[in-house]
Amino acid sequence: METNQIFPQGQQLPNEWFTGNAFLTPLVAKDKNNQFSVGCVTFLPNARTVWHTHPKGQVLIVIEGNGFYQEKGKLAQPITKGDVVNIPENTEHWHGATATHKMVHIAITNYEEDVQVTWLQPVLNEDYQKVNEK
Amino acid sequence: METNQIFPQGQQLPNEWFTGNAFLTPLVAKDKNNQFSVGCVTFLPNARTVWHTHPKGQVLIVIEGNGFYQEKGKLAQPITKGDVVNIPENTEHWHGATATHKMVHIAITNYEEDVQVTWLQPVLNEDYQKVNEK
């Protein structure tokens, strides 16, 4: 573990939902008080989620590195250490590392009953490359 | 700002609720999806909350330094970078730095309607010193 790293890298996330090498350390599970889960997600360079939606939104808190957050039909936003993204409900989006840097974020993901996320199609390599070329 | 620091130190917190020098950077406010607020709290050495309770609990995620978490009638627990505390509802407790190190945590604080916290009496200097001497 690097000296500056706060959490262990955790377990690799499935390639069905994450393109490239992404990892999760779970921090808090949903319970009677917390209607959300919390985890730390590490995206190695080139790794990103597939497009997806959250029925009650999600908060991302970037704690290391450089990445992108993009909502469908909008420009990708660069995100870096200290940035917070409050993702609206039912809004198609993806997030991940840049092609050259890792990105680590804490994710607070709300539940609507037992559902947190609906996974959709991958971010195409050509679209991801265009975002990185800008 | 130090290179390793993720968030700015923020605004000083009131001495009515925080003994010593504690600071807050708000990260997320309660909204229709998030029934909580999120903030980053920095406790300089010797700083701590007064005793208090949360009606729907609170999650602490320690991102830097060394501190303590203590529930009334139990021993104080040392907490450090990477530790997570899931504080139960209506449970009297305090948290803060050690006497010699700063401590920084993210706090996710649930709301019960419009209430997040009930502040009580200060942690006495003699009790805080005893915790630090162990």
- Write the pLDDT tens digit of every residue in A28-68: 999 999 999 999 999 999 999 999 999 999 999 999 999 99
CA of B109: which chain A residue's CA is closest? A34
Task: Report the pLDDT averaged over residues B103-128.
Answer: 98
Sign of CA dihedral B50, B52, B56, B59: positive
In a domain, A1, yes or no: no
In a domain, B114, yes or no: yes
Residue of B33, B56, B82 with shortest CB distance to A56: B33
Whether residue A84 is predicted with pLDDT greater than 60 in this model: the reply is yes
What are the two backbone dihedrals, phi and then psi, of residue A132, each rounded to the nearest 5 degrees?
A: -75, -25
Supply the pTM of this predicted model.
0.96
Q: Which residues of B touch A108 (CB under 8 A)?
A: 34, 38, 108
- Write the pLDDT tens digit of every residue in B16-69: 999 999 999 999 999 999 999 999 999 999 999 999 999 999 999 999 999 999
In a domain, B1, yes or no: no
Q: Does A55 touch chain B (CB under 8 A)?
A: no
For residue A44, give Cα distances in angstroms to A21, B18, B25, B31, B68: 6, 39, 28, 32, 33
CA of A25: which chain B residue's CA is closest? B82
In a domain, B47, yes or no: yes
Quote the mean pLDDT of chain B: 96
- Domain holding B31, by residue range, is 11-133
pLDDT at residue number B1: 42
pLDDT at residue number B31: 98
In a domain, B51, yes or no: yes
ipTM of the modeled complex: 0.96
Mutate to test the interface with B, among A61, A84, A85, A103 (most CBs of B within 10 A): A61
Q: Does B81 touch chain A (CB under 8 A)?
A: yes
Point out which residues pair with A103 in neighbouring strands. Answer: A43, A65
Task: Report the pLDDT averaged over residues A127-134.
Answer: 94
In a domain, B5, yes or no: no
pLDDT at residue number B4: 74
**The total number of structural domains that make up chain A:** 1
Contacts of B60 by beta carbon, 8 Å cutoff, 6+ apart: B69, B79, B83, B84, B85, B87, B95, B105, B106, B107
pLDDT at residue number A3: 56
pLDDT at residue number A1: 42
CB atoms A84 and B27 under 8 Å: yes
CA of A29: which chain B residue's CA is closest? B86
In a domain, B122, yes or no: yes
Q: Does B86 touch chain A (CB under 8 A)?
A: yes
Model confidence at B3, pLDDT cuts 50, 70, 90, reads: low
In a domain, B3, yes or no: no
What are the two backbone dihedrals, phi and then psi, of residue B127, each rounded to the nearest 5 degrees?
A: -70, -40
CATH number at residue B61: 2.60.120.10
pLDDT at residue number B9: 96
